[in-house]
Structure 1
Amino acid sequence: MPHTTKILKTPLRISIAVLLLGMLSRIFHWPHAPKAILVAFIAILVLYGIRFYRKHTKEFIDYVKLVMVVSWTLNGIFRVLDLPFTLLFQILIAISFITWFIMEGTAYFLDEDRRAKNSMARVIWNFAMVIGALAIIVGSLLNILNETYAIPLMAVGIAIIVAYILKDVFAAGKNEKEDQGNEEYQL
């Protein structure tokens, strides 16, 4: 499998971190949260569009990913602006996600030898990522039940995931040679 170098990876990760922080701000009803979310969605849409355009060889899976990202960002923009027709985008997201999962699925996260060569620090960070995701899920479910600590639990989960994303952004120079487990490989 040939290794492809991703362009605009750092700006995209920063945009996703801003999006998560905007969502955290919205949970806490802080001012300017919708503006931060809107700017982040627009940045992701533009950056991914440029990334797709600059890709030399485009396969069907690349178009599936483009549809998924464009539908997701447009859905987010329409929801922030309180515009109709978000159901159409949600259907496109579901179809493109299922197509992506069938075609690429979990192989996206594996290295070319299909063996993870993780250091202890990476294992700890990946464990933190799982804990962050679980905190968001459990916090969301507890929020539905109107439990007391649901919002702080979701906030901790979002903060952990933002730290995980920013850790990769700011430690990218150091980890370039050893970090190939999360790079994109074409099947």
Structure 2
Amino acid sequence: MDDRTVDKIFSGSLETLPPVSSKVCRIFTSSTFTDMLMERNTLMAEVYPRLKEFCREKHGLEFQVVDMRWGVRDEATDDHMTTELCMREIDNCQRLSMGPNFVFFGGQKYGYRPIPTVILGSELLMLRDALITMGVDTILIDTWYKRDSNAVPFVYILQPISSILVNFNNKV
């Protein structure tokens, strides 16, 4: 697509759009959950239904929204897969969407910051040695991370939550 066509599209002129390779516009919505609650609720209730109708009526496109605040299954949380699932959905949106595919709302909070699920063995051992030197007990790191000697180079894997907190998945 040439620069002139891109400039026209960004200025709102949609009459001379290039041929569409996909009939889907799939958007991944990202923000901290509590910081942008009203904005996300407004998007879901007011904006996205209108966009869906506009895309269908004016351009014959299917408008889809991916919003991970709707929840990640307990099994994924147990295995620390939330970040991987989000990244997979972002990849899906980039692959499937014929146009925009990501919306981010920044606020005053940092949001979810997961600990790594895999740590290079040499790095974890250096971290552990530093903790010992500082007089810090290493029981948590020793409990939650287990060595995987089959990996080359070897790594430490964060254990599923339910393997240590046995009642984690209980619904009662």
Bin of the TM-score, shorter chain as denominator length? under 0.3
Which structure's residues are more often helix, by fraction?
1
| TM-score, normalised via structure 1 length | 0.24
Which of 1 and 2 has greater Rg? 2
| TM-score, normalised via structure 2 length | 0.26
Which structure's residues are more often strand, by fraction?
2
